[in-house]
Structure 1
Amino acid sequence: MTIRQTLRTDGPVLLPGDTGYDEHRKALNPALDPRPAVVVRAESTADVQRAVLGARRHALPFAVQATGHGTHVAHDGALLLRTGAMASVLVDPDRRVARVGPGARWGDVLTAAAPFGLAPLSGSAPDVGVVGYTLGGGLGWLARAYGLAADSVLRAQVVTADGELTTASADRNPDLFWALRGGGGSFGVVTALDFRLYPVTRVYAGAVTFGRERAAETIAFYRRWIERVPDSLSTALLLTRDGSLVVKAMYVGDADRSRALLAPLWTVAGPVVADGMRVVDYAGAAMGGTFARTFDQVRTLDDELVTALVAEPDAAVEIRHWGGRIARDDGAAAHRDAPLSVVLDTVASPTTAAALSRCGLGSSFLNFLHDPSRTASAFTNENWAALRQIKAAYDPANIFGAGLAVPPAATSVSA
């Protein structure tokens, strides 16, 4: 029986040479030119189940793509499941909960939740897929106030490696539920996700630009200043390629209070070149981040690291404040005890790399990671071991092993 005959899905099955195959095989990363054996455009949960079983029957690697933002390897020879058509969004304003399909994007959720005065813990780009972002942890600009997106998940419907549809929640398959909230897509195909919404409508947000002359003094001040700010204020410092120092901020609350909190930092940074802070609808707060070619979390920014970052040649550098609710939740995602992360949009110079090695954790964050060989660095050692055990329980054959995957723990066989 051919793969097309095996699948019998409601959505189209595209083989090489079929109309639409070239359009739907590609990811957003222009460096990738994937050539999957077959592309399945799912329109229902049943389609997802048939795709998983079809891949197993024909011994094909299996990969999932909604928007393609999180695809970092070419899935050559695989069954590629596209879930973009399953983009439903339902909002329960009384419970402050949203339920989304695997193809939903953050813009869809923002639009659906805003009329009720609610907001999700979304990322900085509205066209990013909700499920992939959330399974990878989800570090948004509301994270210090309300936590990572993964920590707000209440329930997931999941197609497991045996093609069965199951539910993961705090009281049903709690081990799978814990793993899904930040452990990535290694444990099944999520076909519905329920998560909390928050009473956020307007925020004071934007960026203030300064010259770079006092960048070192500003970073040195920043590492002390963040110890005193409330969880409702999220900030990052950006050293741009054009020679500017930018302070990005989002505050959930009164603009005057925010400016009072930020004023000492702005004073150290020097004369303002451009002030882009505004009271805006949360859905319209464009707060993009720096592409993470180099990423690490640090417990401290010592003077040598500050000097190295300021002197970093031909790079954009972002220093971001974590902490707050992120550090108080206990989901699978991330190293939560580090107060800061450092991102460069290029490979760090030897001087910066040495300073990061001394101050940093050697960590990554799943949403920012591009190298599958470093997946373990996105988790603490304890959580990585736990994730591997859960993976062995739900997917021992590693059907969901594409991309930034958690491998199953080795199991011993009794004689």
Structure 2
Amino acid sequence: MTQRIVERAGTLLPGEPGYDEARQALHAGLDPHPALIVQARSAAEVRSAVLAARELGVPLAVQATGHGTHVPADGCVLLKTTEMDQVEIDPRRGVATVGPGARWGQVVDAARPYGLAPLAGSSRDVGVTGYTLGGGLGWLGRLHGFASDSVVSAEVVTADGDLVTASRDSHPELFWALRGGGGNFGVVTRLEFRLYPVSSVWAGIVEFPAERKADLLERYLDYARSAPDHVSTALMLTPESAAVKVMAAGDPSSLAPLGVLDGLREMAFAEAAMGGTPARHLALFDRLGDLDVWLAAGEQARVEIRHWGGALSATGPDTGPIGHRDTTFSVIVDTALPGLPRGGTFLNFLADTSRTSEAYTASDYARLAEVKRAYDPGQLFSVGHAIR
């Protein structure tokens, strides 16, 4: 089997032309050396890569864009799904169907002509599937929830090489686990998820002078107590200035107390570029505690305080295994500063894979472990945020 895989186009062994370029991860600190790279273009080639990894007795790592890669795929079969980037929009049903290599920018652009929007994140370049399997916190999240909760179905190649469709009616436990449990349970070869009728938003990044930081932080926290669900915001603190990021999928007038209305404009959802902050430190809190800690951090690094709540807090049959749903704020710091408070965590932003269990409630993690034993008892999918 392995020899047949190697002989196919799209596979690379160490030392072959193209191997060094294909093995590179997005994060410069990683220097992976996989045993074999498979550049898949179909579900059949994904299945062949899974079976090759089983025959070799090594784990299989999956990479589309590499944004979620935190552990080098040393000695593994590295499956690259970048070329499987199909995007289809069904405007009647209000759903998108995508391949595992699709990026959010493709979906946003494809949905735009129909007045629809996905629950995309801050960057158009991030891969849809990895983002969604890890939960997916987007700028429409307070209104519509996590991206994972909008998944309708997923086509998956399991560790046994079976091609199955997971939905509420078929493989329901696998379907539940995929919506927040990460890439632990198989390789998703097709993902179907709901879109939402959002044609335009009020958005912008409004800057303030550095001397306004303390006052702005107080006003931001006060505003968050009564912010309507259709408004998503984040407060940025840097050594040079402060800023408020805003996206309102409706009337922005409630933002008047923050003094940002003049800096917003109405635009298509596809045009709202919100940007992100590298998560060298991430913590989730119900209350931020000593505000001086975050103000001091903002004198040395970029700090992004983001308001959660709204539909992100919802639980029910449409929700997957995402812990800390009841959190109020996330804090991201782009530099690993000493002494920062440690709160809850969220899988999409968790670089320390030894803390994977902390992204879930104890009961959800136990249930995820049961699904893992059922679908991947041999830990074939164990690179990165592994459930054990």
TM, length-normalised to structure 2: 0.95
Task: Identify the residue that residue 269 of structure 2 maps to in structure 1.
Answer: 282
- 1:98-177 to structure 2, matched below 5 A, reads 98-177=96-175
Gaps of 5+ in 1: 408-415
- Partner SS state of residue 27, structure 1: coil
> Cα distance, 1:7 vs. partner?
5.6
- Taking the aligned partners of 1:331 and 1:218, their CA distance within structure 2 comes to 35
357, 382, 386: which is aligned to 1:401? 382
292, 317, 321: which is aligned to 1:332? 321
- Partner SS state of residue 228, structure 1: coil
- Taking the aligned partners of 1:402 and 1:324, their CA distance within structure 2 comes to 33
> Cα distance, 1:216 vs. partner?
2.2
Is 1:188 the counterpart of 2:186? The answer is yes
- Taking the aligned partners of 1:293 and 1:154, their CA distance within structure 2 comes to 32
Residue 71 of structure 1 aligns with an amino acid whose one-letter code is: T
Task: Identify the residue that residue 385 of structure 1 maps to in structure 2.
Answer: 366
Residue 4 of structure 1 aligns with an amino acid whose one-letter code is: Q
- Taking the aligned partners of 1:341 and 1:12, their CA distance within structure 2 comes to 41
Task: Identify the residue that residue 234 of structure 1 maps to in structure 2.
Answer: 232
Gaps of 5+ in 2: none
- Aligned CA-pair RMSD: 1.6
290, 293, 303: which is aligned to 1:308? 293
Task: Identify the residue that residue 308 of structure 2 maps to in structure 1.
Answer: 322
Is 1:250 the counterpart of 2:270? The answer is no
Deviation digits for residues 98-155 of structure 1 (CA, Å, limit 9, x no counterpart)? 1001111111111111111111111111111110010011101000011110010000
Deviation digits for residues 365-394 of structure 1 (CA, Å, limit 9, x no counterpart)? 111111111111111222111111111111
> Cα distance, 1:215 vs. partner?
2.0
Task: Identify the residue that residue 256 of structure 2 maps to in structure 1.
Answer: 263
- Whether contact under 8 Å (2:6, 2:12) holds in the other structure is no
Deviation digits for residues 216-264 of structure 1 (CA, Å, limit 9, x no counterpart)? 232223223212111000001110232x1101110001xxx41x31121
Task: Identify the residue that residue 4 of structure 1 maps to in structure 2.
Answer: 3
- Partner SS state of residue 290, structure 1: coil
> Cα distance, 1:46 vs. partner?
0.7
> Max radius of gyration: which structure?
1
- Taking the aligned partners of 1:125 and 1:290, their CA distance within structure 2 comes to 11
- Whether contact under 8 Å (1:63, 1:81) holds in the other structure is yes
- Taking the aligned partners of 1:167 and 1:226, their CA distance within structure 2 comes to 40
| Number of corresponding residues | 384
Structure 1 runs (4+) deviating above 4 angstroms are 6-9
Residue 278 of structure 2 aligns with an amino acid whose one-letter code is: F
Give the share of equivalent positions with the same residue, in percent.
53
Task: Identify the residue that residue 371 of structure 1 maps to in structure 2.
Answer: 352
Task: Identify the residue that residue 330 of structure 2 maps to in structure 1.
Answer: 341
297, 307, 316: which is aligned to 2:284? 297
> Cα distance, 1:345 vs. partner?
0.9
- Whether contact under 8 Å (1:161, 1:188) holds in the other structure is yes
TM, length-normalised to structure 1: 0.89
- Whether contact under 8 Å (2:116, 2:196) holds in the other structure is yes
